[in-house]
Structure formats: structure tokens, C-alpha cells
Structure 1
Amino acid sequence: MAAQAVQTSAASVPRPEYPRPDWQRRDWLNLNGAWSFRLESENESGSAEFDAEIVVPFSWASPLSGIGRDERGIGWYKREVSWTPEAAGSLVFLRFGAVDYRCDVWVNGTHAGSHSGGYGEFEFDVTAAWQTDAPNTIMVRAEDYDRKSQTRGKQGYGEIRGIWQPVWLEARPQAYVQQAKFVTKIDGTVQANLIIAASKAGEASLQFNFGDGAVCHAENVSLAPGGNLVGVSFQVEDPQLWSPETPYLYEGEIKLAAGDGGTDAVTTYFGIREVGTALFGDRNYRWVTLNGKPVYLNGTLDQSFHETGFFTYPTDDEMRDEIYLAKRLGLNFVRIHIKPEEPRKLYWADKLGMLIMEDMPCFWGNPDEPTRAAYEREAKEIIDRDFNHPSIFSWIMFNETWGLRTDAETLALTGQAGDQAVATYLPETQEWVRAMYRWAKSVDPTRLVEDNSPCNYDKVESDINTWHFYINGYEQVRAHVTEVVEKTYPGSAFNYAGGNVQSDAPLLNSECGNVWGFVSGAGDSDLAWHYRYMMNEFRRHDKMCGFVFTELRDVTNEFNGYYRLDGGEKFFGYEGFVPGMTLADLHAPDFIVIDAPPCQTAQAGTRLSVPLLKSSYSDRYHGQKLLLGWELWHDNLGTRVTGDRGVIELDWNGFGVKAIHAPIAFDLPKQDALAVLALTLRAADGTVVTRNFVTFDVRGGGETPVYDADGRFVAVPVTGFAEQTFAYQWNAIQEGKTNGGRAGAFVYDVRLPDAGELPLLRHADLYFEASAKRLLARNIEGAREKAHGIDFMHGADAAVEYNANTYYMTDDERHESRIRVLVDGEEVASFLLPDNPADSQGALSYQYQEVHNKLDEAGSYGYLCKVVLPSSIVAKLDRSRAFKLTVEADEGGLALYGRNAGRYPIDILVNVN
């Protein structure tokens, strides 16, 4: 294809908004949209012609690019553009949000410049080559060979190849504000450190107008040719502080008037806030503070991955929604994982109120000198670009020692180890990490800096003491978190490497979840049960000031998200225990900790007590009395029964964790039941502060189950069928549950009390718990174990349906089944089973898991089915005292839950009287 102008209508331009709302000029042209393209992959040189069309700004590997080829190599881009700046004599800049990895640019055949690095923003002054009286040809060469020295991050879900952030043209006068960094204090002091570029010497006027008149400040400055460093201070009266709860931004404009150098106007903003750490009371450990007060950090890992755009969001709305999705869960921060975030998404974090912990992208090779230099250059670009976002409270320089271990081959070549040596985190590399931490502190003293977010207990020097864990099982999580807390104190060598020791830095978990920690990984399974007790364990410790849960959304091979990859809902089921309870209750700054296992097995009628703690990291209710309402309730064959209840008045004072003066004591029901202790903390005006719950598997103790109903019960184990006709059938949860795949039936021989025990049979009811059964590949072909190595960090296929732990969590996707119930071949009822759910409501399916790091259909549960047998059938049963019970399913399959599975502590029950 010969060079030609690629026409793109305004309506079809993807991402049409200005890419930098934190630093915006009025005279600009969006270059997103269709460009001519050709790809020279590493395996073939390809045609010299531009034989394809690509949609910028999407990676050539992504579907939205229109190319969709995940191949390393060189991408060539071409576009013809006609554009004239509004003001005569303006400079013309060609700007790129990010290009992976090495980029060269030509305008009308003139080489405009080069850039290396996959994440930093860059620009070229193309004024000399730009034509205002003819079309301009822009040519871009983007080279991406995934070299080990590149800052790649965690791209394996979808590669960011070539141009992957917006491209635009921008006009500026001969003297312009190149950069401004705002440093704010909560007393309203603002220091603006500017770089002003000028083509010649002269005087200029600098004006700051922000916050609808709250800031009106002007200064005269003397400019020299080139870059000028200018510092300006001003005071904001009655400052409105930025926080996740009150994300106030001082939006406005910086204007530079430089006579014949022109007038430059930049729309920008700042937020007044201070981030720090502090000691409180007589503690010898710090908490993270925002605006001088403790803040409990409820966070999640954000991979920023989109299924069609990969790491480029298709629209601005989707970036906004990403922040909204986290915020609606009660989260107040996200950790952007192994990459910096796009400026527009950071803008929405600023605007909506979400704290950000931003990672530097890692490399995957040896930490040699060329690799270090590339990393250092890119880290500077990232911090310079994102400095003004009030949402960012922390920089993480490295993650899990990725790229910091020198491989065995290099060690052997340098004589430091033998051929069999493993990759090693060398002392000199540790010192470089320390230097990077200190460098970041020097260029940005306004934020917390972390050296390495570790899973190998190998920190060096840090403002935050963090660690990662992926452990499952209540006892295991409790023991691990307690151990970490007990080993965290000033001078402790725990979690540090190379003879370094802990300071009094705040303790924070920076990765946790149940995506790992299982044999062959967690697959795609429920996380609601684990999540609630993990939150309780974190809030139990005064020393811990937050966590990062893995992750906000599922990704291609990790299914531990609060949401599905497409943003679809997952249902945690907490409202089934406490009306109105959501995930946000577990993230409340004022929280009631239940210091007990998530479920305990106990004898019916037993008197129990549960210790409680109050955890406060907000002063909103300090000095007030809060009311803790509690009740013990259980389900009796479909009827909600409330037992003991009460209200405790609490003096809510002081930050941190304290024991509530006396445990709650109550009597368990005198029957088989799943009993729930439900808690609701309210303010004096009735506002709900937080909710929580704990459960009890209450057992009657006799051979026959005990329920509060007239008559006698006959219990038939769900696995005690006489025959079955399903294509696929298996039992689960220690024989507490039976499954039938596709259409088929379970048939049971049921014997009723004889006439000597029950002379006249007047009435008979059937009860059972059932769900549909979604067949997985492992149910048909058998489970397959897959080792989870570093390839998972690069997007390896999880083969999730073959994973032994997979059992899909309740979400928007339904799998239904229609069942018929027959007694001696006569249909007595039919039910539509709407789904095959698994979430925290399947409490008994969790309580009877055999091994903590293997899941056997954990969290699965069904729907209570009740059948009142017609009198004509009861009359027959009065004579026979036995019958065949058939439960028949269509293609949706059938799962039946027994006494030790699901959410109802029942087998198949026949109630007769």
C-alpha cells in the first residue's frame, strides 16, 4: 500500500479524550484510530509494504488493534496528518503515552527521536519538520523482542506490543511550562516546583488559579534560554483535604505569559493531603497515616487487564468504572501490579477517591548494569509523570525479588558459584535495591516507598514492612498471621535479608488470597468463606494496618477476583447470614472482630460464648456510644427461628484493637441446625456501621436427626441410592453429597415406621436439598494436576476445568435444571433448580472439607425442596410402609446434599405423623 492519509471520523476515534487530564492544553489533535501497519515478526521479515491497518492505541497482540498477532518483532506504523496550530509560531510536539519497547519516529522523513522503555511517556519536538501547508507523514518503528533486560512487568496475560497508549499532537508557545510538581501540607501550604522551557531570555508572568477562586496567585519570573527551575509557594485558606471519603481536588490553571514568547495555559489540579507513618500511644510500631490520622488500608491487587484491549482500556468510562467497582466494595486502595497505571485511570482515582500503591515494572533477566540503567531511566519517567496524583501514596520499587536474582550460569562464569548453583539475590544487588529505595525517597519525599514487596522474606530497607502469603484453612491462616505479627518488631531479622533488620515501619500484607496455596492451585472456586475469616484474622491484630487481596478481577489463569474478568458480579452470600451484609461490611474502618473459627461443631442445647474485639481506624464515632445488636438464629426446615438476642452499648473511643468487655453468651438450639450468630453495629441514629457473623453446626447427637416439627423423621443418606441412571455420577465431601451429570435419576428405597411404631399414617412430607450440576471437564475425563511455575506469571493456560479444586463460585452465569420427584413412579412434585451455586452459604460444605489445601466442591449448596405428599399416596404408604423415591433431572443434572454438606443439615427426610 502506498503512503496515504488514513481517514478516521471523530465518532470512530478510540479513546478520544485528552490523555492527560492532570496536564492538559487546549490546542491538540488526537492521533488515535486507524494507521497503516506492517509487522516484521522475529520469524519472518514480511512485506516491505504497509499491508494492514491497525487501530491505535491498542497493542498489535490485542483483539482491539485489529491485528491480534502475539508475535515479537518490529511493528511499523504510518499515518498522514494535516494539522495547523491555532497560534502562529507555535511549537509542535508529537506525544506518546507509551510504546513497548524501543521506538523510533520520523516526520516527513526526518528522524524526530528515539525512546526505550515500555511504560514511560515521551514526546518529540517536531516543529522543524512539520508542514502546515501540506499533509505530514508520521512513521513509527516499534521494536519488541521481550529481551530479559526490558522492563516488562507481568505482561503474560496479554502482551503490550508496540503503541499501547494514546498518541497526540500538541501546540505550545515558544515559552511554556514543561512540568510542575505540587507538594502540599495539610495546613494549606503548597509548593509548586516548575520547569519552564524558553526559547530566549526574558521576563514572564506566572499565574495560578485554582479551586474556583480559592487560589489566585501571581509571580514574575526571569527566564533564561532552555530549561528554568522555578519554585513558587502559596497558601490555601481553609484547605479542603483530599481523602478517599472526601476526594476534593483543586482544579484550575497555570498560565505563563512571556510577551512575544506567547501565553501558555495548562489545565491541571492538585489535592491537599499528607501521607506518612506515626507512632500512637505507647506502641513501638507505626501505622500508615493520611492527613495525620491512621488509615486502615483495605486494598486489592489490580492487574489492569482487559480481555480485548489487554492493558489498554477500550474507553474512559471503563477506567472510571474500574475505580467504581473497587470503591463499591468498601475498598480504599488498589495496588497497581508490576506496572504504572494510565494517567486517565489515575485521574479517576483522584476524582472518585481511591488510594493507589503503584509498582515499578520488573525485568526478568539478571540485574546487570545495562538492565539496571534501563530500569532506573524508566522509574524516573514514571515518578515524574505521576507525581501530582494525590491518590498515589506509595511507590513499590520491586516485586517478589523478580529480576533481582542472578542466575546460576552467570554466577558460575564469574566464579561466585558452581554449575549447580541456584539463582541468588546477591549482596551487591541488595545494595542496589537499597539505593533505589533511597533514590525514590530523595526525588519524592511526599510518599511512602517500599524496596521490595516480598514473598521470600528478603526486604532490605523500606517505609512499609510488607509480606505476601497464599495459605488456606482457618487454623493455618490464623497461625501464620499470628506468627508474622509476633515476629514483627524493631530489630527483628524476620522478613529481612543480608543482615538487615526491621525498623518500626508499619506492618501491611501486600498480597494474599486463595488463588495459590492449594495443590495445583485453587482453580476457579468460591473464595467467600475464606475471605471472611481472613478479614477477621487481620483485624484481630492491632499491629496490622491493612492488606492487599489478590485480586480485583479474575485474569486469564487466576480466578480469585472480586469480579469476573468482564466485570461480572460474584455473589459472596453474606446476606444469607445477616440481612443487608455485603463485602463492604468487612472493610469498614470501624469493625467488630469475632475471635472464633468460621464454623464450630457443637452439641444441641449447649451454652457457648464468643469473644469479640473492636477495631477502629477512624475517629468518626470516637466519643460516641455505638450499639452492638446480636441474635442467634437458625433455619428449621425452611422457617427462620430466632433464639437468644441482645444489644450491647459500647463506648467507641481510641484507634486500634481492643477487647470488648465480655464475650457474648447464648444457648444453641435443641435440634440439628446450622446456627448463625449475626452481629450488627449501629450508630445512635440507626446508621449501620458494620455487620459480621459466625456459624455453628449443631448436632442432635442421636441416630435420628432432631428437628422442631411434629411427627417422626426418617433420614435417607443421599449416597444411599439403590440405583442411578446418570451418564456421570460421583460422590463428594466425604460422601456427604452425590452428583449426577446430565439427565438421569437417583432412586432410593425408603422404609417407613411399621404399624407397631406408628399405627396410622395421616400425613407425610419430603424434604431434601438439591441443586443443578454443571459438568466440568474433570468430572468427565478426570482431574489433571498442573505444576504452577513462573510460567503462570507469563499467562500459561490454567486448564481450569481439569483442576481438582474447581467449582464455580456463584455469579451472574446460571446453570439450571428441572427435576421431577416421583413416589412409586407417580409424580408428586417438580422443581426448577435455578443454579449450581457455591459461596459462603455452603457452610457445611466447608466445615467437612478433609484437607485444608484441597477443595472438594467446597461452598457448594442447593435449594430446600419440600413436597407434601397427596392423601391418595399417603393412604398407599399406610399400607405398604415402604416406597421407591425417584429424583429425576433433565440435562442440567442434579446434586443432592446430605447432613454434612450444603447449607441445610438434613439428609433426604421423610416426616410422617
Structure 2
Amino acid sequence: MSIQFEQTLITSIPRPEYPRPDWQRADWLNLNGAWSFQFDPTNQGKEQVWFTKDAAEFSSIINVPFSWTNPLSGIASSDKGVGWYNRAVKWQPALAGERIFLRFGAVDYISEVWVNGTFVGSHQGGYGTFEFDVTAHWLLDSNNSIVVRAEDYDHSYQTRGKQGYGEIRGIWQTVWLEARSQNYVLDAKFTTHLDGRVEVVSNVIAGQASKAAISFSFADKAVDHTIELDLVEGSNEVRTSFVVANPQLWSPESPFLYEGEILLNSNEQVDSISTYFGIREISTTLFEDRSYRWITLNNKPIYLNGTLDQSFHPEGYFTYPTDQDMHDEIFQMKRLGLNFVRIHIKPEEPRKLYWADKLGLLVMEDMPCFWGNPDEQARTAYENEARELIERDFNHPSIFSWIIFNETWGLKTDSQAANLASDGVKTNDYLPETQEWVRRMYHWVKQVDPTRLVEDNSPCNYDHVETDINTWHFYINGYEEVRTHVTKVVDETFVGSTFNYIGGNVQTDAPLMNSECGNVWGMEFGTGDSDLAWHYRYMMNEFRRHDKMCGFVFTEFRDVLNEFNGYHRIDGSDKQFGYEWFVPDMQIADLHTPDFIVIDAPPCQTVEAGAEISVPLLRSSYSDLYHGQALSLNWELWYDNLGIRTVADAGIQQLAWDGYGVAPLEALSISMPNQAAVAILAIHLTTLEGTSVTRNFITFDVRDEQASNHPGSISVAVTSYVESQWEHSWHAIQEHKVSGGPIGHFAYEIQLPDQEEQAVIYEVELAFEAGAKYLMGQNKTGAIKLASDISFMHGANADPEYNKNSYLMTDAVKQRSNLKVWVDDELVETILLPDDPADSRGVLSWHYQPVNNQLNEAGSYGYLCKIALPSKLAAKLNQKRSFKLVLEAEDGGLALYGRNAGRYPIDLLVKFQ
């Protein structure tokens, strides 16, 4: 590693901000940047006293705080084991006589630290923060040597979570030095109440017995509270309380923080900490005559629209490249209309929790799991780390729930060889004694933090023991399947039910919510990159049908290495859901509004032209913003009549909007168009003044069985070509779509009516739906099936190019194609096909999927192509009455959509007059 690179790292410190804005001191030094580094593959470093080496004797340079596994570290090695860090530092506190602490955000997994060759301490655990008082070993006027030995062997008892996406090894959060007075405040926990009462438990460390005063000053002296102390040497617990007048409550809509400082005055020294708290209460409550509870925030029901956040980045893995990245992720979640996030199988970096506090996003925080048996070593390690994490994050108002375990990972014990499964694989069991340990952990967390909801195990195996939230996971594709499953779960949720519980335990009145859902794992080949917009919308509808449901967690916020079902791609870029095509200005956020209109019907129905249809509606309200008011329900039934937006029916009705929960509304009676169409029932709920509340839609495939007899047009099936020349070509969507690529053509013989049927043909127009055709790996060499097992949770590769369920959602790959249209060897038009899209606009490609969990180019669609043939050519066809139509792609391929595919209910349509 060159000296030039080292200087660049030193002068451009990564992650330069203070890592704990919830507990910040002013006098500190960020130690991120270039450290000398060396692997110790034979684990001889301690024996060879590497902690006495100069930094120049180490073989490499690493960019702290990035794990040695990821690209931003400058090392990017997959090696497990031992790594040594070395850094020379010259620094002294601004005030004489202060203590010096060396602090680590997180190091995975075992850390040992030396300062100037003297051992100062060790730490075990990959996620918790820790520190060492190095005052006695620090040289104020010269360089100091800091040496860190980090050991990570992936032991089965380690809390690792889902590090298979990108391993965390060694230092992976900020390292810094910090000055404190001889007597200092170690921590303070704020417990808030809606009446403004704030209870504080502080821990003051005193170097010697003394008189002192501790002050709490927040919100420009709106809080100004001081108490006198008689400190004893060592640790002093300080309990106090104060009342905030006219308290401003924290919520996602109004994330007010009481920002200020804690001051400890003693022995003519002042310890000052910048911190904050938010006044809010999380609980569960019975409303009216219901027998089940709802989750409440500040004594009001809240419907939790959430997403699963793996917090993985391809450059820094689980370390965010910048603070702005953390801010932007919270902002993006808010932009989606979400009000909470589940941080998955790991605690989040404190700065991201700060942005959740600041911007207003509730957080459900997981404990990281271990992957071995729940033996004594694993339990002890886990309990120690859980204690650290809850202590660290206690004051974040955004955190409303702790999840202790996930999907029984780390809770199953390997059975004996005699109990092998029939395939010879060793089985494992969630043993009764482990269930009791989980129960003890639940009660322990409740004791440590009574201010939040606690979940014992976020289950995919229906195996709760005791919990504040009755959640479950499901990954199912298909409207009927999702509807049936969610209804079954709701029906089997009641006090005393054994459903979703294990070991003879039964349900209480705990609130019901989903804590993982999506369509990625509901597919035969596991993951894949396909349209999720269609599935997502009807799943939101099904959740909001049920008064018992308190919310959901959608998997997931961003794609990761082998799961391609995020709102955003792995690089954070947007995915196009296409909802705005159905309802003007509709966004994903319209499906997340607290006040919502449920269209209690399938996402698409097949109906006859001119039919009268009744559409059931429900109101779902989890906000009192509009209670007692009248709202306006505006609806229209429209269709795209080959490029002309046509309204078939419309109406407005006023709704009395009052009360929490789900209740029926008067059904809509609508009249279908008198022709074949993909019709859209678009609804828009507004205030009487026109302010938007929510939008929603469903679709109809309107069939006109007499259409073939209509004069003036003929329809040619896209599969009826007489000639095809491509390197790769195939049929899809039950023979209603043909594709070829990358260069080639489809040719059709078109027979026009004879003179007896149509005396004169003056004009001929062609209309068809076509798109470019991106050739995936599966189109060239076939699909590759990967086992959908636990390896996916550990980062197993799942290339969507070879997954038979994949059809890359709009804009995953942007490929254009130039389409040439030939009639009897005469070029009549060249059309630019801008893309090979797939999203919710591919209504027919979704509606006619034969098997829900084996997608066949689902959601794919094209662009409407309309071509009026030149008059000279029309004159020739008036005599000839037939022609050869050739559709040729010069490059970029071609997909042609027939009657039951895409978004227009047409085959190749030839219109004449």
C-alpha cells in the first residue's frame, strides 16, 4: 500500500461525524481512516508481541471503520480469523487533568486492545459498543501506539445475524478518543409520560467522593432542572424526575425532540453531554367492545406500515459509507409513506437510529442471532450482547419494539443420529427447555425496558411462547392464496387459540400483525427479479380488510445479493411500480395511508362487455385526523381505447368518516364498456376541499365475444406467424406472447376481406402491442434451479438471469430496439421500442398466469404501435386483398403481445375502411 494512499485516507476521514448524537461530548478525536493492518493466519501475534510493533512494521493499510472483508476497507479479503490494527496518535484533551477514553462503535467478534504496549482491555461481541479508560497509559506530548487484535472465527455461538450477505470482521464502526472530567455521567435513561413527566436514571462515575450538581437543560430552557449530589467514589446511581409543561409529543408525523444537555458540576470541573429525548408512549389497548388489542402510540391506534431493512450495502456491507446514506434511507422510507422499519437480525448504527428519531420513523429492532445450538456458551454470549444493545439504544424514541429471536434461528437443537430424517439429514428441534429460556428472555427484556413492546420470536413456524405482539411470516404468491391465508390467520387469532404458539402455550389478546411478507420466497425457484407491484397492491388490500390487523413488514426495503424484491434496487435506485398509469398521481404511499379505502375484490376480473358489476368497499381508519368529517369518494371506470383515454362510468359520493377500524361502505355499481377493454376502476378519496387522502384501483378484462364479427377489422394471433428467424425465440403466457432476439423477424400472411364482403378498401391501419426483448440467461441456455434452503439466509448466490420466475422489473435493464415494419417488402415504418418493461401495467400478463408460484413472464407488457399504411399501398391492397407483414428487430429483440398478454386486449389488429 502506497504512502500516497495512506495520506489520502488520513486527510479524508471516512465517517467523520460523531458516532453517538444521542450521547455526545465536544472534546473528541475521530480515529477513522488509515490504520496499519496485518493478518495473523497462524495466530502467533500475541506470542510474538505484535502489540509492541511500530505501525510501519505491519504489512498493509486498512480504511477504518470498514470491515476487512468489504471493498471500502482497501483489503477486501474473505479471510476469517485474526487481524491486527496499529495506529500512531498524538492528542490531548483541551482541558488539563481530564480522563481519556478509547471508544469503539463495534468490533466483530473478540477484541483485545493495547496502548503503548500495555494491555488495556478486551471485549466479546460483534455489535455492542465498548470503551477503555486509557488515561494512565496515554502520553500527552508525543505519539501513542494503539493496537487492536480482532478475532472472528464464525463460531456457532457467535451473534452473527445474516452476515452471509457480506461478513463483518474486525472493526466495522467508528473508533474515537474522548475526554471527560474526573467525575462524569456514564449514561442516563429517560422514561417519558404523556402528561410531560420525565423520569431519569443516571449513572455518575466519580474519581473521588465529592459534592456535585447535575443539571438537565432542554429545548431552550423549557426544561431546566438541577439536583445536588453527594458522590461516593465509583458508581453512583442518580434518580430524578421533572415535568415538561405543555409537552410536544413525538410521532412519525411530528417527530419533536427535546434537545439539550446534561451538565455535571463537581470539583470545579464540568462534564457536558449533548443529548435528547422524545415524549411518547407505546402500548397496546382494547378499544370499544373488541376482544383483541391494537398497538397504540400516544394512546391512539396506529396502523404500522413497515419494511424489513437488511442495512446491507455492496461497498461497505453493514457499515454505511456516509452519514448522508443513513439519512437518505430514512427519508426514502418516509417518502414511501412508511411509518416504521424492522431492522433485521442486527441492531442499527446509532446514527441511523438518530435519523429515525429526527425524521420520524418507528423502529422494530432485532437482536442478532447465532446459528449453532442454544447451549450454555451461546446463551451466555447472546445475553451479554443483548444487554449491551438495549442499554445503548434505550433513549431512542423511534424504537418501539425489541425482537429477541427470529424464525427460531439459533433455538433448535441438533437431534441425535438415531433421529435422522428419512433423507439422512440430521433433524433439529425447538426443545421445551429452550422455549422456557426464550420465555425468561422475554420477561428479562420487559424488566430491563418496560417502555417498549417485546416479541419473543418473530415466527415462520407458528411457534410463539410469550409475546406482546402476535406476529407471523408468510411468503405466498397469488391473490386467492394470499386472501385465503390471511383470512385463516385472522380467524384463528383469538384468546385461548393454540394457533401460532408452541409447547401448549396459547394466544392472549396481544395485537395481531404480520412481521414478514412478500412474494420472493413464494416462488418455486426461490428468489428472482420480477414485478412486485401487482402482488404488493392486492396484499395491502387484504391486510386492510381485517379489523384485527395492526400492520405488516414487507420484505424488503432494498434488494440484497440474492433477494430482488425491494422497493429499491441494491444501489438505492427506484423501481417503477406504474400505479400512476391507473390513477393519476398515485404512488406507493397511497397504499400506506392511515385512512384507506379497501376495494374488496380481486386485482383483475374477467367480465362481459356491458355488464353491471357491484364492487364491495370498506373503510379502514387508524387516524382521527378526519373523524367527524365528510370525505368525498371520487371514482371512474376508464379504459385505454387504443391510445384514447375513455371514461365508461363515473361517480362521486360523500362518506361520513368517523371511528377507528374497518367498516363496510355502500358498494359501487358500475357499468362495463360495450367493447373489449382492460378497464380500470380508479378511486380517489379526498376532503371536500380536494385534499388527497388515498387512491386505489382494480382492473377488469372486459370480453366482447362478438368482437370477431365486428366489421372493419380482423385479428391475427401473434403465434400464427408463417416465418420466424431468430437466434433465440419462444412463446409465453399460454401462447399469447411471442419473443425473439437479438436480431430477426416474425412474418405473417394477412388476408383482407374479398370484394363481396368489402367492396372498396380505402385505408388500412395496423395496431399491435410490442416491446423490446432483453435476452436473459434463461432465454439463451435455460433456467437453473437452486435449492431454497438456509444457504439463502447466508448469502447464497441467486442469479436472476437464470431463475425461471424472473422477468426483470421495469428499468432493471434498459434496452431499446428498433422495429422495422414491412408490408410486401416495402418499409412502412420504423418504431423505437424504448424498453422491455414489466410492472403492474402488464395487467393481462398477470391475470392469465396459470400457476401462481411459477411465473411466466408475469407483468410484462409493450407499447401500443399504430401505423396507417400509405395511400398508394392501400390502393394496391384494394386490388390484391392480402399482404405479407414482417416485423423485424435490427437489434434489441422483439416481444409481441396477444389478446391475453400485456396491457391491451388485442392481437395483431388490422383495421380497414
Match of 2:737, as an amino acid? Answer: K
User: Which of the residues 385, 388, 404 maps onto 1:381?
Assistant: 388
Aligned equivalents of 1:830 and 1:412: distance in 2? 68
Q: State the match for 2:724 in structure 1.
A: 724
Q: How does 1:16-415 map to 2 (within 5 A)?
A: 16-41=16-41, 49-260=57-268, 262-409=269-416
Q: How does 1:650-669 map to 2 (within 5 A)?
A: 650-660=655-665, 662-669=666-673
Q: State the match for 2:506 in structure 1.
A: 501
Using the aligned pairs only, state the percent identity.
63
Per the TM alignment, residue 476 of structure 1 is displaced from its structure 2 partner at its CA by 0.2
Kindly indicate whether the alpha-carbon contact (under 8 Å) linking 1:2 and 1:50 is maintained by their aligned counterparts in 2: no
Aligned equivalents of 2:609 and 2:209: distance in 1? 89
Aligned equivalents of 1:878 and 1:762: distance in 2? 7
Aligned: 1:596 with 2:629 = no
Q: State the match for 1:443 in structure 2.
A: 448
The structure 1 segments of at least 4 consecutive aligned residues displaced by more than 3 Å after TM superposition are 1-11, 41-49, 409-413, 417-421
Match of 1:520, as an amino acid? Answer: F
Kindly indicate whether the alpha-carbon contact (under 8 Å) linking 1:3 and 1:78 is maintained by their aligned counterparts in 2: no
1:336-389 CA-partner distances (Å, limit 9, x unpaired): 000000000000000000000000000000000111000000000000000000
Per the TM alignment, residue 800 of structure 1 is displaced from its structure 2 partner at its CA by 1.7
Aligned: 1:691 with 2:691 = no
Kindly indicate whether the alpha-carbon contact (under 8 Å) linking 2:632 and 2:654 is maintained by their aligned counterparts in 1: yes
- Give the match's secondary structure for 1:499: coil
Q: 1:685/1:44 Cα in 2 relative to 1: closer, same or farther (>3 Å)? A: farther
Per the TM alignment, residue 799 of structure 1 is displaced from its structure 2 partner at its CA by 2.4
Q: 1:359/1:410 Cα in 2 relative to 1: closer, same or farther (>3 Å)? A: farther
Q: State the match for 1:850 in structure 2.
A: 850
Aligned equivalents of 1:601 and 1:807: distance in 2? 24
Per the TM alignment, residue 40 of structure 1 is displaced from its structure 2 partner at its CA by 2.5
Aligned equivalents of 1:730 and 1:519: distance in 2? 21
Aligned equivalents of 1:3 and 1:384: distance in 2? 41
Q: State the match for 1:764 in structure 2.
A: 764
Q: 1:161/1:410 Cα in 2 relative to 1: closer, same or farther (>3 Å)? A: farther
Match of 1:272, as an amino acid? Answer: I
User: Which of the residues 479, 484, 489 maps onto 1:484?
Assistant: 489
Aligned equivalents of 1:4 and 1:777: distance in 2? 43
Kindly indicate whether the alpha-carbon contact (under 8 Å) linking 1:184 and 1:272 is maintained by their aligned counterparts in 2: yes
User: Which of the residues 441, 453, 458 maps onto 1:453?
Assistant: 458
Aligned equivalents of 1:74 and 1:62: distance in 2? 16
Q: 1:766/1:419 Cα in 2 relative to 1: closer, same or farther (>3 Å)? A: closer
Per the TM alignment, residue 855 of structure 1 is displaced from its structure 2 partner at its CA by 0.4
Aligned equivalents of 1:9 and 1:476: distance in 2? 54
Per the TM alignment, residue 534 of structure 1 is displaced from its structure 2 partner at its CA by 0.2
Consecutive unaligned residues of structure 1, counting only runs of 5 or more, are: none
1:616-637 CA-partner distances (Å, limit 9, x unpaired): 0000000000000001101111
Consecutive unaligned residues of structure 2, counting only runs of 5 or more, are: 51-56
Q: How does 1:727-738 map to 2 (within 5 A)?
A: 727-738=727-738
Aligned equivalents of 2:670 and 2:438: distance in 1? 55
Per the TM alignment, residue 271 of structure 1 is displaced from its structure 2 partner at its CA by 0.3
Match of 1:290, as an amino acid? Answer: L
Aligned equivalents of 1:690 and 1:622: distance in 2? 15
Per the TM alignment, residue 811 of structure 1 is displaced from its structure 2 partner at its CA by 2.8
Kindly indicate whether the alpha-carbon contact (under 8 Å) linking 2:517 and 2:555 is maintained by their aligned counterparts in 1: yes
Kindly indicate whether the alpha-carbon contact (under 8 Å) linking 1:572 and 1:839 is maintained by their aligned counterparts in 2: yes
User: Which of the residues 681, 685, 707 maps onto 1:681?
Assistant: 685
Q: State the match for 2:472 in structure 1.
A: 467
Per the TM alignment, residue 890 of structure 1 is displaced from its structure 2 partner at its CA by 2.0
Per the TM alignment, residue 690 of structure 1 is displaced from its structure 2 partner at its CA by 0.2
Match of 2:804, as an amino acid? Answer: A
1:872-901 CA-partner distances (Å, limit 9, x unpaired): 010011011100001111221010000000
Kindly indicate whether the alpha-carbon contact (under 8 Å) linking 1:631 and 1:642 is maintained by their aligned counterparts in 2: yes
Aligned equivalents of 1:221 and 1:600: distance in 2? 73
User: Which of the residues 546, 551, 560 maps onto 1:555?
Assistant: 560
Per the TM alignment, residue 725 of structure 1 is displaced from its structure 2 partner at its CA by 1.3
Per the TM alignment, residue 418 of structure 1 is displaced from its structure 2 partner at its CA by 15
Aligned equivalents of 1:586 and 1:527: distance in 2? 14
Per the TM alignment, residue 521 of structure 1 is displaced from its structure 2 partner at its CA by 1.6
Q: State the match for 2:831 in structure 1.
A: 831
Per the TM alignment, residue 834 of structure 1 is displaced from its structure 2 partner at its CA by 0.8
Q: 1:412/1:805 Cα in 2 relative to 1: closer, same or farther (>3 Å)? A: closer
Match of 1:90, as an amino acid? Answer: E
Match of 2:572, as an amino acid? Answer: G
Aligned equivalents of 1:5 and 1:570: distance in 2? 37
User: Which of the residues 507, 510, 515 maps onto 2:515?
Assistant: 510
Q: State the match for 2:798 in structure 1.
A: 798
Per the TM alignment, residue 852 of structure 1 is displaced from its structure 2 partner at its CA by 1.0
- Give the match's secondary structure for 2:650: strand
Q: State the match for 1:426 in structure 2.
A: 431
The alignment covers a number of residue pairs equal to 905
Kindly indicate whether the alpha-carbon contact (under 8 Å) linking 1:6 and 1:79 is maintained by their aligned counterparts in 2: no
Aligned equivalents of 1:847 and 1:11: distance in 2? 58
Per the TM alignment, residue 4 of structure 1 is displaced from its structure 2 partner at its CA by 14
Per the TM alignment, residue 408 of structure 1 is displaced from its structure 2 partner at its CA by 1.8
Aligned equivalents of 1:45 and 1:568: distance in 2? 44
The alignment yields a C-alpha RMSD, in angstroms, of 2.0
Aligned equivalents of 1:451 and 1:367: distance in 2? 15
- Give the match's secondary structure for 2:428: coil
Normalising by the residue count of structure 1, what TM-score does the alignment of the two structures yield? 0.97
Aligned equivalents of 1:11 and 1:758: distance in 2? 82
- Give the match's secondary structure for 1:450: strand
Kindly indicate whether the alpha-carbon contact (under 8 Å) linking 2:540 and 2:591 is maintained by their aligned counterparts in 1: yes
Per the TM alignment, residue 702 of structure 1 is displaced from its structure 2 partner at its CA by 2.9
Per the TM alignment, residue 2 of structure 1 is displaced from its structure 2 partner at its CA by 14
Aligned: 1:820 with 2:828 = no
Normalising by the residue count of structure 2, what TM-score does the alignment of the two structures yield? 0.97
- Give the match's secondary structure for 1:227: strand
Q: State the match for 2:640 in structure 1.
A: 635
Aligned equivalents of 1:223 and 1:156: distance in 2? 48
Q: State the match for 1:13 in structure 2.
A: 13
Per the TM alignment, residue 741 of structure 1 is displaced from its structure 2 partner at its CA by 1.3
Q: 1:243/1:10 Cα in 2 relative to 1: closer, same or farther (>3 Å)? A: farther
- Give the match's secondary structure for 1:743: strand
Kindly indicate whether the alpha-carbon contact (under 8 Å) linking 1:409 and 1:419 is maintained by their aligned counterparts in 2: no
Per the TM alignment, residue 410 of structure 1 is displaced from its structure 2 partner at its CA by 8.6
Q: State the match for 2:53 in structure 1.
A: none
Aligned equivalents of 1:178 and 1:8: distance in 2? 35
Aligned equivalents of 2:709 and 2:800: distance in 1? 38
Match of 2:526, as an amino acid? Answer: G
